[in-house]
Structure 1
Amino acid sequence: MELQIAGLPLHILLVHVVVVGVPLLAVVLVVLSAWPAARRALWLVTLIAALVLLGLTYLTIESGEWLEDRVAETPLTEQHTGQGEDILPWMIALTVVAALVAALAIVERRERRGRTDAEVAANRGITSTVARRSPARSAIAVLLIVAAVGVGIGSVWTMVLIGDSGARAVWQGSFSDQPSGEGEGGDD
């Protein structure tokens, strides 16, 4: 399969989507885990985005392997390609967290549709109309926040390591600390 677009390797185009998408998804999952109103509004979009990003991550890895066969083998490129697949388990974990956020949002939606706040309060012998969250659901919400933060930190850190090794593989030794002088209007 030819993995290039307009003469550019697909990897160098896709990698930018993944480098931006993984940290953004991690932050959104932490927010949705901690903020029920945001979860109600964005759970489906976030789940779809996680699934799309998982596919793009896999395609980015595959296109990187394709590109590896077409560039000079150096210790830096070997290091980068060796680290490239490290993001896949983290991306799977982010997708699982997105699915758990979606499941919690669906459970909360069903509970809201099933009973009004006044009915919940009356069933519990409370005179206030303020609905209370069950202890089990509160515990699940806290665990979801912890999972989102942990997986988010791990995925972002892995992405930083992979990106750093990729940038070094491409740029180390490829540029000068001094301007080349061509096109410069400096003093001679």
Structure 2
Amino acid sequence: MKKIIIMLFSLLSLISISASVIIPQKLLLEDMKPVLQKAKTYEKFKVIYARKAVPGEIIKTYTADGYETQNTAGEGDFVVKNTTDAKEMYILTKEKFEKRYKYLKKLDSKWNIYQPLGKVKAVKVDSALTKRLGVDGIDFSIETSWGEEMTVKKGDLLVSPLDYSEVYRIANKEFYETYKAGK
């Protein structure tokens, strides 16, 4: 009986593994670039809190709908905390951070307040997009620019900076809490 239970659990894990796909960043960029070039431009309007990261620090990102991804800080990186209901946190390299945010003022002894500067192209994850990506009806994730897995759900948005250097997910609720249609 014990062997049968172990075999069932093994079989179930194989089934759940095969039902999920991770799309590599390079392939995602290639496939999404033409779609994103035609997509609407959005501006981040809500201030963020940020602090210098401690090298080796691991930040796990949680949105209102659960776990999204994680990242390990390197030298010079920043930890960003969005001012959404979820207060999701993530890591940005110094280069990305300085392109996307402008210092406003000190919040407290740990965090500073920054104004967003960045604009993105965004596409909603719907049936047409999942068909294009070859993952319609399948749970899927994307590989981030830093090599981690990032959860993607229908209704989320796949976004890219205007230089099309990467594609990442922003959960639906958090996207509309922080972005508005650009000019």
TM-score (norm 1): 0.21
Higher percent of residues as strand:
2
Computing the radius of gyration from Cα coordinates, the structure with the larger value is 1
